[in-house]
Structure 1
Amino acid sequence: MDKQFWVTIRENKYAFPEGQDLTALTDELFSYIPSTDPDLRDGIAYEIFANWIETEPYQADQLRGYLKRLLENLQVGLGETDSDSVFGRAFSVLFLAEVIHRDNQQPYLDPHEVTETLERVLAYLTAERDPRGYVPVKGWAHALAHTADTLMVFARSPHLDEAGLIRILKAIYEKMQAATGWIYVHGEDDRLARAVVTAFARETLTLDQIKNWLEVFSAGWKNAWTDEGQTRAYFNTRNLLRAIHIRTLSVKDLPRKEELSALILDAMTSMRPF
């Protein structure tokens, strides 16, 4: 289909076009995931799929097939730091958020499928080496922010227990505290904070468990100023804590808000790079 076909669908509030085949059109949308055209990749492929998965009769086997394909896409070019392959990975993980969100709303996956998918997403989070947010001309890459969105959806999954939520929190901390050549400036900390506070809101984790997680933020920063990579990691981690605190205060009716706020403030004041 030409681009105007898809633009017309978008202009028609994503209504499915009469006489077309859902599988064939979805396959075409998936082919646009790695595109360097930001409108095709983001404004068309992602937006249309995100709407159709809410309204159209995708079957469980179809969705499982999409899940498999998207997970495979996360491996393409993984480890590259400045190539166009990042768009395929970053938008595949964003599409994954929609597939898991569908399961949260209308379950079709077994619990082990959800936990196995989470483990593969967490492995991708650790292994992704392209930190770019907005890329001139080509639009958003934003792999970390998109992964954060997916982790937020996982944090809402009824299939995830205490261990799964702890895995999410641990992986987020480990990503941000790693020595790096990059300070995240495109809202990645805010997106990660949404995932963290979503996990807090479940009340599956005790305050002691959350406190134990927050306490690791204060360790290992002595003399961070002497190493540029560690200095950047310090600011990334500090910014994450600040974003978590702001998110905690801003979420209406968040359970245990005062206790969580106090724990986060303690962690923030304990981060000392000297």
Structure 2
Amino acid sequence: MNDIELKETLIDIKNNDFHVPEELSDFEAVKYVMRALHSTDSDLRDDLGYTILSKWLIEFKLLDGSELIMLLKQAVSEELLFNKISEGVSDHVFLRSFSALLIALILYRDNHEHFISRQKYMELLQQLNHYCELENDYRSFVEGKGWAHAPAHISDALDECAQNRFVGESECLAIWKSLLMMLRNAPTVFDAEEDERMATAVVSMITAKKITVSVLLQWLHAVTLNKPNQSVHALAFRKYLIQRVNMKHFVRCVYFRLKNAALLDQEADDALMKLERAFNPYF
């Protein structure tokens, strides 16, 4: 089946109040819709494919725990989350990025239904960390193809990880290291609120009482950016500037999210403001 036929079928599903086609089991239907996640057609991939999966898995609660575990295993495989990840910037990012969103949906279900074992969760956390280490296509909106947005989408999965029942401070640190890798590795300044999605995962650690604000401050204070002793026109300086601006924006996101949630005492407020100035030394 080509993308045109797939799109027509998914339109029918959406127009039929998202009912599962009678000729398919729930698991077969979910696997069928997952074919849309690779597409460079944003209507097919996002407005139809992801929307249907979200509706089915979250609202309709299709699939039981054992089926969702099978789906998760496929989602973190070389065929989906790690698909052609060594190739650099390419259309394969759409499948990887939307596989991250699928993982987030499954983790959301697990946070409410508890079907993933501690061992499987820890393995998943390592896989997501490895993905953050390898991903190098950081494009946000791609003209004619829609949202790639890999850092934002994997941050959604990490946000669900941060709320998991198996998470303690050490697991939160692993999640933070994944986020920090993306902040360090981004080839450009984030332009589509990726930093907000990353901040969401960190704020979730605090609101879920997995870590305290003081622990977060320790992590942020430990971040060092090596300013190169080179001309401001040199490539190395440009890389440093991108890292510094992304960290500055991230700290601001975290600060205002925590402040608006009344989670900062005066000491923590002052400490975050001081951190912001460290990443914003010229203004």
Could you tell me the TM-score, scaled by structure 2's length? 0.87
Match of 1:162 in 2: 169
Distance 1:40 1:186 in 2: 21
Match of 1:263 in 2: 271
Distance 2:43 2:266 in 1: 42
Distance 2:39 2:161 in 1: 26
Question: RMSD over aligned Cα, in angstroms?
Answer: 2.2
For the 8 Å contact 1:248–1:261, the answer to whether it is kept is: no
Match of 1:213 in 2: 219
Runs of 4+ in 1 over 6 A off after TM superposition: none
**Mapped pair 1:241 → 2:247:** no
- Residue 60 of structure 1 deviates from its aligned partner by 2.1
For the 8 Å contact 1:189–1:239, the answer to whether it is kept is: yes
- Residue 203 of structure 1 deviates from its aligned partner by 2.3
Which amino acid is the alignment partner of residue 98 of structure 1? L
- Residue 124 of structure 1 deviates from its aligned partner by 0.2
SS at match of 1:79: helix
SS at match of 2:157: helix
The number of equivalent residue pairs is: 271
Distance 1:220 1:24 in 2: 51
Alignment partner of 1:81 out of 76, 84, 88: 88
Alignment partner of 2:109 out of 79, 90, 102: 102
Alpha carbons of structure 1 residues 256 and 242: separation in structure 2 relative to 1, 3 Å: closer
- Residue 30 of structure 1 deviates from its aligned partner by 1.5
Alpha carbons of structure 1 residues 90 and 124: separation in structure 2 relative to 1, 3 Å: same
Q: Deviations over 1:205-241 (max 9, x none)?
A: 2343222112024553475856111111111111111
Match of 1:191 in 2: 197
Alpha carbons of structure 1 residues 221 and 264: separation in structure 2 relative to 1, 3 Å: farther
- Of residues 221-230 and 51-60 in structure 1, the stretch that sits farther from structure 2 once superposed is 221-230
Alpha carbons of structure 1 residues 128 and 12: separation in structure 2 relative to 1, 3 Å: same
Distance 1:17 1:137 in 2: 30
Could you tell me the TM-score, scaled by structure 1's length? 0.90
Match of 2:137 in 1: 130
Match of 1:228 in 2: 238
Distance 1:208 1:255 in 2: 11
Match of 2:57 in 1: 53
Distance 2:242 2:26 in 1: 46
- Residue 131 of structure 1 deviates from its aligned partner by 0.9
**Mapped pair 1:43 → 2:47:** yes
Match of 1:121 in 2: 128
Q: Deviations over 1:162-208 (max 9, x none)?
A: 11111111221232134x53221111111111111111222222343
Alpha carbons of structure 1 residues 221 and 47: separation in structure 2 relative to 1, 3 Å: same
- Of residues 55-64 and 45-54 in structure 1, the stretch that sits farther from structure 2 once superposed is 55-64
5+ residue gaps, structure 1, are none
Alpha carbons of structure 1 residues 169 and 100: separation in structure 2 relative to 1, 3 Å: same
Match of 2:69 in 1: 64
